[in-house]
C-alpha cells in the first residue's frame, strides 16, 4: 500500500454470542483483558448489545470494536503470555464469533480512489 493511503488505525470488529450460563466466565475475561489492552495502547471504541439488524444475517448479540495503533500491536497483544492465559475464558464462553481486523482509510475519498484503482494502491 502506498504510504499516503495508510493511517495508524486498526479496528478489530468482534461479533459474538455468549453461551447461556457462561456470562460470569466472560465477565471475568473482560475484567482481566482491560489492563492488557491498556499495556498495548489499545482502546475500546465501542462495546455493546446489538439492537437492530438492518441488513444481512449476522445475528450475534454482542459487538465490540477495539482500536489499535497498528497490526503489530494487535499481533503482539495476541501472543502476550497474560492474554494467552485468559483467552480460554473468552473462547469457552462465546459462540458464533466473528473477529475481523480492519485498517482504516484516511477518509472516504481515499477509499474512492482505492476502489477506482481496482483495489490497488498507487
Region 71-85: mean pLDDT is: 97
Cα 52 to Cα 59: distance, rounded to the nearest angstrom: 9
pTM for this predicted structure: 0.83
Cα 90 to Cα 22: distance, rounded to the nearest angstrom: 10
pLDDT tens-place string over residues 90-117: 999 999 999 999 998 888 999 999 999 9
Pick the CATH number of 3-116 from 3.30.930.10, 3.40.50.720, 3.30.70.100, 2.40.320.10: 3.30.70.100
Instruction: Tell me the residue length of the chain.
Output: 122
Where do the domains of the chain lie? 3-116
Residue found under cell 475475561 = 29
Alpha-carbon Rg for the chain, nearest whole angstrom, is 17
Amino acid at each position: 500500500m502506498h504510504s499516503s493511503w495508510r493511517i495508524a488505525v486498526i479496528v478489530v470488529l468482534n461479533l459474538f454470542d455468549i453461551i447461556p450460563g457462561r456470562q460470569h466466565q466472560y465477565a471475568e475475561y473482560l475484567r482481566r483483558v482491560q489492563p492488557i489492552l491498556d499495556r498495548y495502547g489499545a482502546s475500546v471504541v465501542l462495546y455493546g448489545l446489538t439492537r437492530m439488524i438492518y441488513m444481512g444475517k449476522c445475528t450475534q448479540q454482542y459487538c465490540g470494536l477495539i482500536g489499535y495503533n497498528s497490526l503489530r500491536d494487535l499481533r503482539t497483544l495476541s501472543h502476550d503470555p497474560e492474554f494467552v492465559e485468559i483467552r480460554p475464558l473468552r473462547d469457552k464462553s462465546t459462540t458464533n464469533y466473528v473477529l475481523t481486523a480492519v485498517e482504516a482509510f484516511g477518509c472516504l475519498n481515499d477509499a474512492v480512489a482505492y476502489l477506482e484503482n481496482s483495489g490497488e494502491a498507487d
